[in-house]
């Protein structure tokens, strides 16, 4: 499967570039040791941290070492553990491996993004299809208004309003936290608002385009039932922009859930990035961003493969 191979290799290259970029960017925002320990830190502590983390070496050497580690599955250890307690110790021996910290958070992020998309995709599709099937009718106008609201609503505000209504006033759901099924509902709803709106908008316009095409008349002239015309004939052909949009929104959920995770105290990767940024915990930032980038790249790969399955005309880089 040469195309698959090519895309995977391209993706890996892209990932290496992203990881390197994050690596250098993290070291350009000032002295990492000083950033982490704060202005009041004494020179010995700083020196210990620098030595233990290899921050005294030339930048290129640090990069080579870091990339080498990554290739061997060594993602480094978090700075924030151990060094001030046992200043002479090697960080590798007592630090918490970053990969564990990140892995601990991933299930929460997946769960939240998954539930949000499980709400958004069917709702967005349904709303868009209904709007396109009855253009300019009441249902269409309602969908247009609702989807616009979903796209333009401020997540932060929506999250707080949901908490006020369902957690504080009605007391049906918890205000935040993680563990019970009930915990996921409010953050997932908050996250789903925008994808519902975007998907409904794209489905509506793509379906209207498709329903105006001659093959739809052909299908009707064959005596095909209208639901088949809409769901089998038109929706299949409208799938490309819809899948693109779903992929985009899924990527956005994986990277952009930070605010919602903060509001609902949801222990996802977004929260980890925020916390690590405020502590300048470079290994965690680097790995978290690399993980998120990987997820986005995978989503994009899947979208590309979906194109190939859906549209027989797309040869995806292969000659006819």
Partner 1 sequence: MNKPLVNVEGLRVEFPSKRGAIAGVQDVSFTIEPGEIVCIVGESGSGKSVSAYTLMQLTKFSGGWVADGRLTLEGGSGNEIDLRTADEARMRTIRGNEIGMIFQEPMTALNPSYTIGWQLAESLQQHRDMSREEAAGRSVELLKQVRIPEPERRLKQYPHELSGGMRQRIVIAMALACEPRLLIADEPTTALDVTVQSEILALIRKLRDETGAAVLLITHDMAVVAQMADRVVVMQNGRVAEDGPVEQVLTDPQHPYTQALLAVVPKLGDMAGKTLPEPMETVATTDCQIDKPLQPGSHVLLDVRHLTKRFPIRGGWLGRTVANAHAVEDVTFRILEKETLSLVGESGSGKSVTGLCILRLERPDCGEITFGGQDLLALSDEDMRLARRDMQMIFQDPYGSLNPHMSLLEQVIEPLKNFGLEAGSALEDRAAELFDRVRLPRAFLRRYPSELSGGQRQRVAIARALAPKPKLIIADEAVSALDVSVQAEVLNLMMELQAEMGISYLFIGHDMAVVERVSHRVAVMYLGRIVETATREQIFASPQHDYTKSLLAAVPTLDLAHRAEKWELATKPPPSPIHPVGYVPEPVHFDKVTEDHFVLRSGVGPAGERKYGP
Footprint on this chain of partner 1 (rule: CB under 8 A): 6, 213-215, 217-226, 233, 236-237, 239, 310-313, 317-319
Would you mind telling me the total number of residues written for the chain in this entry?
320
Q: Which is nearer to partner 1, 172 or 215 (CB)?
A: 215
**Minimum distance between the CB of residue 121 and partner 1, rounded to whole angstroms?**
20
DSSP one-letter code for 265: T
**Minimum distance between the CB of residue 115 and partner 1, rounded to whole angstroms?**
30
Q: Which is nearer to partner 1, 194 or 233 (CB)?
A: 233
Number of C-beta neighbours around residue 229 at 10 A? 21
Nearest-angstrom CA–CA distance, 312 and 318: 12
Angle between the 235-256 and 98-133 helix axes, to the nearest 10 degrees? Answer: 150
**Minimum distance between the CB of residue 320 and partner 1, rounded to whole angstroms?**
8
Distances in Å between the alpha carbon of 192 and those of 32, 130, 253? Answer: 37, 19, 9
Q: Which is nearer to partner 1, 38 or 223 (CB)?
A: 223
**Minimum distance between the CB of residue 221 and partner 1, rounded to whole angstroms?**
4
**Minimum distance between the CB of residue 235 and partner 1, rounded to whole angstroms?**
10
Contacts 24+ apart (CB under 8 A), 136-143: 140/204, 143/200, 143/204
Residue 59 in tokens: 């930048």
Whole-angstrom distance between the N-terminal and C-terminal Cα of the chain? 15
Nearest-angstrom CA–CA distance, 84 and 178: 31
Q: Which is nearer to partner 1, 73 or 222 (CB)?
A: 222
Q: Which is nearer to partner 1, 110 or 307 (CB)?
A: 307
Q: Which is nearer to partner 1, 112 or 129 (CB)?
A: 129
Q: Which is nearer to partner 1, 73 or 214 (CB)?
A: 214
Q: Is 274 exposed, middle or buried (0-12, 13-18, 19+ CB in 10 A)?
A: middle
**Minimum distance between the CB of residue 296 and partner 1, rounded to whole angstroms?**
24
* Main-chain dihedrals φ then ψ at residue 209, nearest 5 degrees: -60, -45
Q: Which is nearer to partner 1, 146 or 224 (CB)?
A: 224
What are residue 97's DSSP bridge partners?
Answer: 77
**Minimum distance between the CB of residue 272 and partner 1, rounded to whole angstroms?**
38
What are residue 77's DSSP bridge partners?
Answer: 97
**Minimum distance between the CB of residue 227 and partner 1, rounded to whole angstroms?**
11
């Amino acid at each position: 499967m040469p195309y698959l191979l090519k895309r995977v290799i391209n993706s890996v290259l892209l990932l290496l570039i992203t990881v390197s970029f994050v690596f250098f960017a993290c070291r350009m925002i000032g002295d990492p040791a000083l950033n982490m320990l704060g202005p009041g830190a004494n020179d010995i502590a700083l020196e210990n941290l620098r030595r233990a983390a290899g921050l005294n070496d030339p930048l290129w050497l640090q990069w080579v070492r870091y990339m080498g580690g990554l290739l061997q599955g060594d993602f480094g250890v978090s700075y924030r553990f151990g060094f001030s307690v046992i200043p002479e110790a090697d960080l590798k021996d007592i630090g918490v491996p970053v990969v564990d910290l990140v892995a601990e958070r991933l299930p929460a992020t997946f769960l939240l993004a998954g539930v949000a998309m499980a709400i958004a995709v069917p709702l967005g599709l349904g709303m868009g299809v209904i709007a396109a099937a009855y253009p300019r009718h009441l249902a269409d106008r309602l969908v247009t208004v609702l989807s616009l609201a979903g796209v333009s609503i401020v997540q932060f505000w929506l999250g707080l309003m949901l908490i006020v209504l369902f957690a504080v006033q009605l007391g049906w759901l918890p205000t935040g936290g993680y563990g019970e099924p009930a915990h996921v509902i409010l953050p997932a709803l908050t996250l789903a608002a925008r994808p519902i709106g975007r998907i409904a908008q794209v489905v509506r316009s793509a379906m209207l385009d498709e329903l105006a095409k001659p093959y739809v008349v052909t299908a009707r002239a064959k005596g095909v039932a209208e639901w088949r015309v809409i769901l089998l004939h038109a929706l299949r052909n409208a799938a490309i922009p819809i899948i693109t949009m779903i992929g985009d929104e899924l990527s956005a959920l994986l990277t952009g859930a930070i605010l919602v995770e903060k509001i609902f105290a949801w222990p996802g990767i977004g929260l980890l990035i925020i916390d690590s940024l405020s502590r300048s915990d470079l290994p965690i930032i680097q790995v978290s961003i690399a993980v998120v980038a990987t997820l986005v790249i995978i989503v994009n790969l899947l979208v590309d493969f979906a194109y190939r399955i859906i549209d027989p005309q797309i040869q995806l880089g292969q000659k006819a």
